[in-house]
Amino acid sequence: MRVPETATDDHAERMSDRNDRSLAEIRAQISSEVVRLQVEYYGRGPTRARTYIVEDVVVVVLEETFTRAEKTLIDRGEREPVQQIRRRFQQHMRDGFASVVEQATGRRVRAFLSDTDIEQDVSVETFLLSDARTDMTDFEETP
């Protein structure tokens, strides 16, 4: 489904108003911060991360995310335990991921969904944004 350009442009304009940042800068910030969190909590990050923003949806696609231990388990047929641990861990990291998106977009995250395709070693983090703006005063740098 193709989103009409005007809807995407209006949304992008609202989101980038905050510091006159472009949509590309917002996407880059989200990608780099999600990778940083992955490195911090998993010990390594994905080799590729890309963020897509369309209207009220932010999707972060992460490739080659598995640790050496996870790869070993997968190679030995232990896919389901790896999948379960990943899902549980992502839910525990919800607040950290949501915070990254909220800071970058200036909007609250209403819902977070996460899943991993074991065969392709691809993870997808999906955020549904609310209309409410995030109070960014705590994140503003003071002169």
Predicted TM-score (pTM) above 0.85? no
**Which tokens in the block code for residue 67?**
């640790």
**pLDDT string in tens for the chain (143-residue length):** 333 333 344 454 555 455 568 999 999 999 999 999 999 988 889 999 999 999 999 999 999 999 999 999 999 999 999 999 988 888 889 999 999 999 999 999 999 999 999 999 999 999 999 986 655 555 555 55
- Collect all residues with Cβ–Cβ distance below 8 Å to 1 and sequence separation of at least 6: none
What number of H helices and E strands is found in the chain? 5, 4
Closest Cα to residue 42, out of 116, 128, 98? 116
